[in-house]
Structure 1
Amino acid sequence: MGGAGKTTLAKKVYNHAHVRERFNCCAWVCVSSSYDHKKTLRAIIKQLNEMRFEQLEKMEKEDLEGRLHQDLQDKCYLVVLDDVWKQEAWDCLARAFPDVGTSSRLLLTSRDRDVAQHADAYSHPYELKTLGVEDSWQLFLRKALGHGDNAGCPPDLEEVGREITRRCDGLPLAITVIGGLLLAKKKLKSEWEKILNNFSTYLSRSQSGVSAILELSYADLPANLKFCFLYLGLFPEDSVISVRKLIHMWVAEGIMQKRDTENLEETAAYDNVEELSSRNMVQVAEMTVDERIKSCRVHDLLRQVAIRKAKDENFFQIHNTRDDEISAKSRYLAVHSLPWDKKYVGSSTPPLRSLLFFNVHDYRKNICLNFKSFKKLRILDLENVKMSYNLPEGIGEVRLLRYLGLRRTSIGRLPHSFCYLRNLQTLDIRSS
């Protein structure tokens, strides 16, 4: 099941020094439920080579498979395919990996035992069990008290703490999230009992204890953190999200308050990332050399909570099929799938505040945007969107625009009307 620790265990294996020294090269890629064959191949090749994204983008599926096969032909390699949902996803990828007796290894994680057995009928998948009582308790103490192993629990908190742990049913994700919630609370029995009582309330509304814990953890977030957490739901499943980009977006939304003259909005936004991380609502994907969070990701189950809450509150909409209709109430729109027709973003568009595009770099037709309908737009992210024309003069109509992402687009110049964007804070033109 989700949250059992499959990816965590795979990472420990992948990053173990004795494992790494046995292989010439290593790569890790998330496949996810809505897998993109070419995107997965590109991600693996890019980790093995110094090829530019633009070079890989021009290659067709067969060329990418051939390139990867060639790169690995004489090497002893370790490749992790994380979160494989479908047998077809494995079938598409398998032929790109040569088997030439070099002691290479492929490591798969999946929630579906049939996927594992389909990939290799002769080996027995390692099935992660839920944690036992004592392991659950030790993990809970580490997360809820912030202490090391075997640090112990204050006597007055132990009984209620063990009851909270029991409700997590041995699932590591549930334990870490509820522990992150308690870490932010005072170490008082009354505080922990309040969480336990609230848990019982949410349990009556949810299908499982895990769902109740995740719902409770969301409900406990302050208003500004709720916004930040919901915003993360706009990003595709298993995305590695740049914290720097995220901070610029949150600041553009205008939700960050300056705390004093020296503590700017960007600092407040980064503090929110750290707070969500300490609550285990987001996972750290990469750190900088000075121990700051460089990128993060959201666990599938927590992303589902964000999407569910966003739907309840008409917060945002994700467009991932041709037939999706745009809600007149949604203010944040993420486009995960094309093609679309030219009427998609036109005069009938709701007064959007954010319009984000993801994974649409293979779409070859022109995307028509009616900028006159974007009177309230703060954020427009066109990363990887291929336009056969330069940015239209109409961009000057979007007077409230604060963030414009043109990374890896084919746009070569900015129009004269660009000077009307007096509120613009961030212009991202990397790789353009």
Structure 2
Amino acid sequence: MTLSDIADSREKYGIKNLGEGMSTQGEELQRLRRSSPFNEDKDIVGFEEITKSLVAELLKEDRNRCVVSIVGMGGAGKTTLAKKVYNHADVRARFNCRAWVCVSSSYDHKEMLRSIIKQLDQISKEPLEVLEQMEEQDLEQRLYQDLQDKCYLVVLDDIWKEEAWDCLARAFPDVNTSSRLLLTSRNRDVAQHADALNKPHELKTLGQEDSWQLFLRKALGHGDNAGCPPDLEEVGIQIARRCGGLPLAITVIGGLLLAKKKLKSEWEKVLNSFNTNLSKSQSGVSAILELSYADLPANLKFCFLYLGLFPEDHVISVRKLIHMWVAEGIMQKRDAVNLEETAAYDDVERLCSRNIVRVAEMTVDERIKSCRVHDLVRELAIRKAKDEIFFQIHDTRDDEISAKSRYLAVHSLPWVKNYFGSSTPPLRSLLFFNIRIYEENISLRFKSFRKLRILDLENVEMYSNLPKEIGEVRLLRYLGLRGKLSIMHRFKIAHPVGLRITSSTRLPHSFGRLRNLQTLDIRTHATVIVPNFIWKLESLRHLYAYDMECDVPLKIEGLRNLQTLSGIRFDDIMHNNMLTLTSLQKLGIWVDDRSEIDKLCMHLSEVGSLTTLHLYSTRGRGRPTLAGLSKLHHVTELKLSGLWLMLPPDFPPNLSRLALKHTHLTDDPMPVLEKLGRLSFLKMKDAYDGRQLIISRHGFHQLKFLELSRLNHLDEIKAEKGALPQLLCMRIRNCGRLRKLPEELKHISTLDTLELVDMPKDSISRLAADTAFSVPNLRIFYS
């Protein structure tokens, strides 16, 4: 059966149409990052000597700018090795500014320059929109000037062409500061072209012993020095040898075996698959990837192939991916409580555990936030998709859109209005990636897209109205308009968060005909004017907005499938009978000094499905008082964003997760928060302007995860004996003045992980020295 058959025959597989996920605002810098040093593979073997050599070369006493290169075949571990070197303690201490960018075969020069600028100058207050408007020559000059007095290290990962190096090289000054460029490439000629005086470091395949140790870690899930069950050892050695010493091949085959029972017969089946099906035509990593793909269940094959639509080295939001998979109708309800999005997240975890998909970023409580695929794995997905005419990727101006395409990803756009030619393909998904159209519009004949389920226009720049004909796409389930100010017609209005002037966008009335729409993402950087049609979208499950405005009170009553609603205003909530929203789980509301929070909480108190409440405070003269939250017995997660004078006088009684963002509290919040008896997760970002946080004896007796981010004035954290007795993970991100962690951390037996992210090198050295010997996992990252 083909994957197209799977998509069309959902009833045959018992697949229903139900549920969906969650929402938070992501930062623009995350969009710019592709491959990232943030998640370094913990299972690294065989790189000890070459790591020492690379570090020594980066640190050698030579004031000239030097290029250090790692070359090797695909799957040999070049990126993994580069991450290990990039995060090496001596390297961090040497270079006062660092950046990482993935070049890939289809690079965007301006995007790479923007990404490097933002990473090298993270304290800059310059809006990203300013960089977006700069021309290529201006970006090069800006970067060149920024680096004049810096001892910098920039990693150029996965560079394919000499032309790509030539474009970037002129932006990196050679000014006697001992700066370094570290590049990885499959092409030795590229490395020698970049610096003919330095011999590239060739990454060889792993030796037999290193291959075996990596295989055991991935296939059995064990740590160092863990042996193999005797009955599995002989067949395991044969499988490991078939991987040819390539870390990617070993990792993927290990993930395949990890998902199977630890039986000799199961491992022999895998070995026999090599010997019978693949040995005649393929070898090495290609054979491993083919075998791993063949072993996937039918629904996971569809999910895997769908990943091939995303650009090379693209960081993929897991939440977005889940929405798309659910909209495709391929997810199956697992039980009465967990809906399709739970099944979709499980499938993301299954693909990651098989090492087919890589984790790009995780939350502090170890949920997968974003992922990506190795370029060899993506090539497999594209190859398999072409075999079945499953999807098409449009990435050159000369490509023609096939009349048979059902899933189309547009990575570049021709400057013609008649985009699809004389015929319109029977598309189910149409995805655009960072397409910039300055005066022309995309010629989309919406009336012809009778089968379209997914339309994603994230970050597409269009300077004319979104066509009214979009209402004719009656089967549409996912519509993504997130990103640019220019997504629709613009005009100036006063923004509700203050006196500054910003743009506004308006949705056409025809949206009201999209009765099958499940997810509508209108998180633009402008207020979105929404005609009063939302109540007509009877299938709607997730409505994401930063800020919505309606000429009349926005009606949302009767949306029994709605699970997520963000960016709505206080007055609109109060005008609706919220009891009719029987599936509502997550709600984000704009409030101001006129908002009566006590009445709001009473209004929401009987909405039994509501578990997450996010209140955004505007920048008016006064502040709303947060009385009444104790009425919300069903709420277990509370998020407070914006400027507040003080913490609420009370909290939801069953609160387990709390996030404070941009609150700029002046009084230490810990004496209040530590008494929340059920609190297990606390995140504070730009939340407190004081110099000390003090946690008293037995404070936070249930807290397991603590993240402190951008507390720019924080010097010290103190904790009395007996505080934080259940803490598992503590993440400190971008707290540049922090000098001291609590001594009590050394005595918390449950504490497994301390993460230091984007911290100054002197702070890292001091904090790491204080805690390294007492915390099992000390992780230091730069994003």
Query: TM-score, structure 1 length as denominator?
Result: 0.96
Is contact 1:205–1:212 with CA below 8 Å preserved after alignment? no
The equivalent of 2:548 in structure 1 is: none
Deviation at 1:362, TM superposition (A): 5.8
Is contact 2:437–2:462 with CA below 8 Å preserved after alignment? no
Q: Does 1:124 align with 2:196?
A: no
Q: Distance in 1 between matches of 2:506 and 2:443?
A: 18
- Counterpart AA for 1:361: R
Q: Distance in 1 between matches of 2:438 and 2:245?
A: 44
Deviation at 1:399, TM superposition (A): 1.3
Deviation at 1:205, TM superposition (A): 5.0
Deviation at 1:72, TM superposition (A): 1.9
The equivalent of 2:447 in structure 1 is: 372
Is contact 2:436–2:462 with CA below 8 Å preserved after alignment? no
The equivalent of 1:87 in structure 2 is: 162
| Structure 1 stretch displaced more, 218-227 or 341-350 | 341-350
The equivalent of 2:640 in structure 1 is: none
Deviation at 1:142, TM superposition (A): 0.4
The equivalent of 1:327 in structure 2 is: 402
Is contact 1:377–1:398 with CA below 8 Å preserved after alignment? yes
Distance 1:156 1:345, change over 3 A: same
The equivalent of 1:40 in structure 2 is: 112
Distance 1:66 1:421, change over 3 A: same
The equivalent of 1:383 in structure 2 is: 458
Deviation at 1:344, TM superposition (A): 2.2
Structure 2 unmatched ranges of 5 or more: 1-72, 489-504, 526-783
Q: Distance in 1 between matches of 2:339 and 2:394?
A: 34
Q: Distance in 2 between matches of 1:52 and 1:429?
A: 21
Distance 1:237 1:364, change over 3 A: farther
Q: Secondary structure at the match of 2:462?
A: coil
Alignment match of 1:417 (pick from 503, 507, 510):
510
Q: Distance in 2 between matches of 1:312 and 1:282?
A: 21
Q: Secondary structure at the match of 2:99?
A: strand
- Counterpart AA for 1:10: A
The equivalent of 2:79 in structure 1 is: 7
| Structure 1 stretch displaced more, 2-11 or 12-21 | 12-21
1:191-235 deviation digits (Å, cap 9, x = unpaired): 111111111233245332321111010000011110110000001
1:64-95 deviation digits (Å, cap 9, x = unpaired): 10111122222222211000111111111011
1:136-189 deviation digits (Å, cap 9, x = unpaired): 000000000111121111111111100011111101110110110000111111
Q: Does 1:348 align with 2:423?
A: yes
Alignment match of 2:92 (pick from 20, 36, 54):
20
Alignment match of 1:261 (pick from 327, 336, 343):
336
Q: Distance in 2 between matches of 1:421 and 1:206?
A: 49
- Counterpart AA for 1:272: D
- Counterpart AA for 1:146: G
Is contact 2:413–2:435 with CA below 8 Å preserved after alignment? yes
Is contact 2:401–2:420 with CA below 8 Å preserved after alignment? no
The equivalent of 1:428 in structure 2 is: 521
Distance 1:418 1:205, change over 3 A: farther
Q: Distance in 1 between matches of 2:87 and 2:361?
A: 13
| Structure 1 stretch displaced more, 46-55 or 216-225 | 46-55
- Counterpart AA for 1:191: E
Alignment match of 1:251 (pick from 286, 305, 326):
326
Deviation at 1:363, TM superposition (A): 5.7
Q: Distance in 1 between matches of 2:345 and 2:454?
A: 19
Structure 1 unmatched ranges of 5 or more: none
1:252-295 deviation digits (Å, cap 9, x = unpaired): 11111121222122211111111101000011111112111111
Distance 1:121 1:363, change over 3 A: farther
Q: Does 1:173 align with 2:245?
A: no
| Structure 1 stretch displaced more, 312-321 or 324-333 | 324-333
- Counterpart AA for 2:463: S
The equivalent of 2:306 in structure 1 is: 231
Q: Does 1:302 align with 2:377?
A: yes
The equivalent of 2:478 in structure 1 is: 403
- Counterpart AA for 2:402: S
Is contact 2:75–2:285 with CA below 8 Å preserved after alignment? no
Q: Distance in 2 between matches of 1:364 and 1:172?
A: 47
Is contact 2:417–2:440 with CA below 8 Å preserved after alignment? no
Q: Secondary structure at the match of 1:109?
A: strand
Alignment match of 2:361 (pick from 261, 286, 299):
286
Superposed structure 1 runs of 4+ greater than 6 Å apart: none
Is contact 1:318–1:334 with CA below 8 Å preserved after alignment? yes
Distance 1:311 1:163, change over 3 A: same
The equivalent of 1:31 in structure 2 is: 103
- Counterpart AA for 1:13: V
1:385-407 deviation digits (Å, cap 9, x = unpaired): 21111212111111111111112
Q: Does 1:156 align with 2:234?
A: no
Q: Distance in 2 between matches of 1:370 and 1:55?
A: 33
Q: Secondary structure at the match of 1:301?
A: helix
Distance 1:306 1:363, change over 3 A: farther
Q: Distance in 2 between matches of 1:72 and 1:378?
A: 47
- Counterpart AA for 1:298: V
Q: Secondary structure at the match of 1:424?
A: coil
1:354-396 deviation digits (Å, cap 9, x = unpaired): 0011232266522111110111111111122211112121111
- From the two aligned structures, give the one with the greater strand fraction: 2
Query: TM-score, structure 2 length as denominator?
Result: 0.54
Q: Distance in 2 between matches of 1:141 and 1:364?
A: 56
Is contact 1:347–1:370 with CA below 8 Å preserved after alignment? no
Q: Distance in 2 between matches of 1:220 and 1:351?
A: 29
Q: Secondary structure at the match of 2:265?
A: helix
Q: Secondary structure at the match of 1:244?
A: helix
> How many equivalent pairs are there?
432
Is contact 1:347–1:373 with CA below 8 Å preserved after alignment? no
| Structure 1 stretch displaced more, 140-149 or 45-54 | 45-54
Distance 1:39 1:206, change over 3 A: farther
Q: Does 1:216 align with 2:291?
A: yes
Q: Distance in 1 between matches of 2:328 and 2:199?
A: 49
Deviation at 1:330, TM superposition (A): 2.2
Q: Distance in 1 between matches of 2:350 and 2:438?
A: 37
Q: Distance in 2 between matches of 1:80 and 1:152?
A: 36
Q: Distance in 1 between matches of 2:209 and 2:273?
A: 24
Alignment match of 2:142 (pick from 67, 80, 83):
67
RCO higher in 1 or 2 (8 Å CA, sep ≥ 6)?
1
- From the two aligned structures, give the one with the greater helix fraction: 1
Q: Secondary structure at the match of 2:201?
A: coil
Q: Distance in 2 between matches of 1:102 and 1:188?
A: 58
| Structure 1 stretch displaced more, 14-23 or 58-67 | 14-23
